[in-house]
Structure 1
Amino acid sequence: MSYPVESIRLREKGLAAARAGRVEAAEQLLGSAFDAGHAAAAGDLADIELQRGNRDEAIGWWQRGAESNDPACLFEVGYLDEARGDLTAAEGWYRRGVSVGGASCLLNLATILENRGARDEALELYERAWTAGMDKAAFNIGRILDDGGRGDLEAAALWYTRAADLGNAGAAFNLGFVRGDQGDREGMLTAWRRAAGLGHPKAAAALAEHHGRNGSPAQARYWSEFADGPGTFSFEFDALGGWGAAAAIHRQDLLNDALGDDYLHYDLKTRTLTAGDTGYGGLTVLGSFSNLDRSWLWSWANPHLDHSLPALERTAEIRKYGARNGIPELMAGRLDLSNFPNPKQAAATMVIAAATLLGGNGVKAVGINDGAGVTYLHVDDPRLPADEYEPLRMPRLIMTAAEVFPAADPRLIVEGLLTNYGPSRMQIGPNAMIGHLPEGHRLAVEFTDDGLINAISSEPAGREP
């Protein structure tokens, strides 16, 4: 929608005055902008009245904006009529909003039509709302196609997945039922774990019930405690952590030695970390731990951070990995760690393991808010010491990893370590795993019959006589 040039200038000045706290000047300028032909200024004035607690005055401005065909005001007036139960009037406002490009009106109009039985038109509007970026639209399409398990399950799964990919917890939860109806048990559990990580109130209970029925009491207990804050990591996170733990601990040791105890300064715009007089690049802010309520907050969920900052961009990789693999610790924006024996250590363990998905050198903790919390910074700079295979360190690294992730399969820990260093050949038997590493190194690990580590042999490359 185009507006007169003068009205645009007046509105921009009015919005700037509002941001500066000069409310009376903002009102005057925005009123002049509306009179000069900028319909959206009516919505801005409504916002000011709402902040003052003047709802009736705000409604008056929405009405004036709607009569001038402002899409946002048309939605607000339509919603007011819908809330009062006047669906005919609401439909009229929403249709008018859609006709002038009001994407927000699409979803509500589609819902009114669906409830009336106009399924085809509702689906067409939901698809337009999805194109406009609304995850709820994809959820509703999936729900219609699903039809309680009686419809087109493959198409429903596609739309539920699209919505879940945008963080819709209800879509992930319903996707679990669709996968179950399709006979895909693992797909069902992955979807429910994803829904639990996204905060769906029923997903954890569904997982607890499933594992209880299927003879997995430890997993049933974990999910039954999930909503109130578990005291252990999920089995899925333990598998991820165990796989990369030994190599991650090695990288962490190297990073700590390189940075030492120098004062650290970091810059979120340039993605740099400075230790003493030396600066390093590739900085990513993973999140923070609160010493006050013993919770973890991923940076992508922190409302006090500017999410456009370069140092926050790569955290999306962790979140997407968690969503694909149903790992709740990598999806939930805030995690209550207060029930862990050592909440701060749990946060550090979780972050170091998750950071392996980004590669790089490791994680550094920096105190914030006068000691009230700790923020964790991931560094990826090739000038820092490279993570090379060191045969004499391997036994300690494997045993430390097994202690940090006691629930992880020891074979997984060893296989992850060997894979990290790229063995030229790997031999896996019923009670042993042998890796022949580059430069002639050899690592052999024996296991007991119940899968525990029994012995480790790490042999350096033989020397020429």
Structure 2
Amino acid sequence: MQSDESDALFERGRALEANGRREEAEDCWRPIAESHIGGALGMAWIAIQSGDDEQELYWTTRAAELGSVGSMHSVGRMLSNGGNTTDAEKWWLKAADQGNNDSMCSLAFMYKRSGRLDEYNYWIDKSAHALHPFAMFALGINNENSGNLNAARKWLARSWKAGYNLAARHLMRIAYAQGDAAYVQQISEALAKSDTTI
């Protein structure tokens, strides 16, 4: 089947699914799913809706094999959740090598849990520099724990700015310890305006 035909079938399936016509969408996606990322993801969506974890993994893996970087991360997550960290690591490395920030962060914490701290430090730093909110938070905490409070403030401020609100609590604590009452007040006011609880 030509690429244009596959693309058209994929889009037709999306339109059908959006209108609650799942069986007809599946009829569009199934013939192209082995060779078209969208078709494979469509079949994964059908599996998710059906609660079929095995088919979800199969089709998400197929999309990853076809080059979907987000699917590479998802396969790693599913495998890790199932206890298969060896294969999860392989998929996360593939995705991280293509710039997937979530995979970088997942690798970091997988390595931390397994005591591979040099690899943890490499990936948490890489993920933070790629602006992953939780990785920036973790790097801020790491700097705080090692006594580098200026670096901690920098990373925690970036994490908070990226939407990870727990970073604000740590920023306030560090600013208070440094005697920076004005910054504590600034954070408090910003949180009050955003109606955010931490």
Interval containing the TM-score (normalised by the shorter chain):
0.7 to 0.9
Asked whether the equivalents of residues 139 and 160 of structure 1 are also in contact (C-alpha less than 8 Å), the reply is yes
| 1:331 maps to 2:194 | yes
Question: Which one-letter code corresponds to 1:22 in the other structure?
Answer: R
Gaps of 5+ in 1: 194-324, 335-465
Match of 1:106 among 90, 93, 104: 104
Displacement of 1:96 in angstroms is 1.4
Q: Tell me, what secondary structure is at the counterpart of 1:158?
A: helix
Q: How does 1:290-305 map to 2 (within 5 A)?
A: none
1:416 paired residue number: none
Q: How does 1:7-26 map to 2 (within 5 A)?
A: 7-26=6-25
Q: Could you list the per-position Cα deviations for residues 33-77 of structure 1 after superposition, in whole angstroms to 9, with x for gaps in the alignment?
A: 323x32243223222222233333222222322333322222222
Displacement of 1:92 in angstroms is 0.9
Q: TM-score, normalised by structure 1?
A: 0.38
Q: Based on CA coordinates, which of the two structures has the bigger radius of gyration?
A: 1
Q: Tell me, what secondary structure is at the counterpart of 2:36?
A: coil
Change (3 A) 1:184 1:100: closer
Q: How does 1:36-51 map to 2 (within 5 A)?
A: 37-51=35-49
Asked whether the equivalents of residues 104 and 123 of structure 2 are also in contact (C-alpha less than 8 Å), the reply is no
2:28 paired residue number: 29
Displacement of 1:97 in angstroms is 1.7
1:188 paired residue number: 184
Match of 2:156 among 156, 160, 178: 160
Q: Tell me, what secondary structure is at the counterpart of 1:27?
A: helix
Percent of paired sites with the same residue: 25
Asked whether the equivalents of residues 125 and 135 of structure 2 are also in contact (C-alpha less than 8 Å), the reply is no
Cα distance in 2, alignment partners of residues 90 and 179 from structure 1: 39
| 1:151 maps to 2:152 | no
2:85 paired residue number: 87
Displacement of 1:154 in angstroms is 0.8
Displacement of 1:95 in angstroms is 0.6
Change (3 A) 1:154 1:96: same
Question: Which one-letter code corresponds to 2:15 in the other structure?
Answer: A
Coordinate RMSD, CA, aligned: 2.6
Asked whether the equivalents of residues 139 and 163 of structure 1 are also in contact (C-alpha less than 8 Å), the reply is yes
Change (3 A) 1:40 1:117: farther
Question: Which one-letter code corresponds to 2:190 in the other structure?
Answer: G
Cα distance in 2, alignment partners of residues 77 and 189 from structure 1: 44
Q: How does 1:63-74 map to 2 (within 5 A)?
A: 63-74=61-72
Q: Could you list the per-position Cα deviations for residues 105-128 of structure 1 after superposition, in whole angstroms to 9, with x for gaps in the alignment?
A: 222122223442024412342135
Q: Could you list the per-position Cα deviations for residues 181-228 of structure 1 after superposition, in whole angstroms to 9, with x for gaps in the alignment?
A: 22223433543x3xxxxxxxxxxxxxxxxxxxxxxxxxxxxxxxxxxx
Q: Tell me, what secondary structure is at the counterpart of 1:137?
A: helix
Moved over 4 A (4+): none
Question: Which one-letter code corresponds to 2:33 in the other structure?
Answer: F
Displacement of 1:164 in angstroms is 1.0
Gaps of 5+ in 2: none
Cα distance in 2, alignment partners of residues 179 and 164 from structure 1: 14
Cα distance in 2, alignment partners of residues 98 and 40 from structure 1: 21
Question: Which one-letter code corresponds to 2:23 in the other structure?
Answer: E
Cα distance in 1, alignment partners of residues 53 and 76 from structure 2: 16
2:122 paired residue number: 121
Q: How does 1:245-324 map to 2 (within 5 A)?
A: none
2:52 paired residue number: 54
Q: How does 1:402-441 map to 2 (within 5 A)?
A: none
Q: Tell me, what secondary structure is at the counterpart of 2:33?
A: helix
Cα distance in 1, alignment partners of residues 6 and 135 from structure 2: 34
Displacement of 1:172 in angstroms is 0.8
Change (3 A) 1:158 1:183: same
Cα distance in 2, alignment partners of residues 38 and 102 from structure 1: 21
Asked whether the equivalents of residues 108 and 121 of structure 2 are also in contact (C-alpha less than 8 Å), the reply is no
Change (3 A) 1:23 1:128: farther
Q: Tell me, what secondary structure is at the counterpart of 1:146?
A: helix
Name the structure with the higher strand share.
Answer: 1
Question: Which one-letter code corresponds to 2:195 in the other structure?
Answer: A
Cα distance in 2, alignment partners of residues 139 and 153 from structure 1: 13
Q: Tell me, what secondary structure is at the counterpart of 1:326?
A: helix
Question: Which one-letter code corresponds to 2:10 in the other structure?
Answer: R
Asked whether the equivalents of residues 27 and 45 of structure 1 are also in contact (C-alpha less than 8 Å), the reply is yes
Asked whether the equivalents of residues 114 and 122 of structure 1 are also in contact (C-alpha less than 8 Å), the reply is no
Asked whether the equivalents of residues 165 and 196 of structure 2 are also in contact (C-alpha less than 8 Å), the reply is no
Name the structure with the higher helix share.
Answer: 2
Q: Could you list the per-position Cα deviations for residues 268-291 of structure 1 after superposition, in whole angstroms to 9, with x for gaps in the alignment?
A: xxxxxxxxxxxxxxxxxxxxxxxx
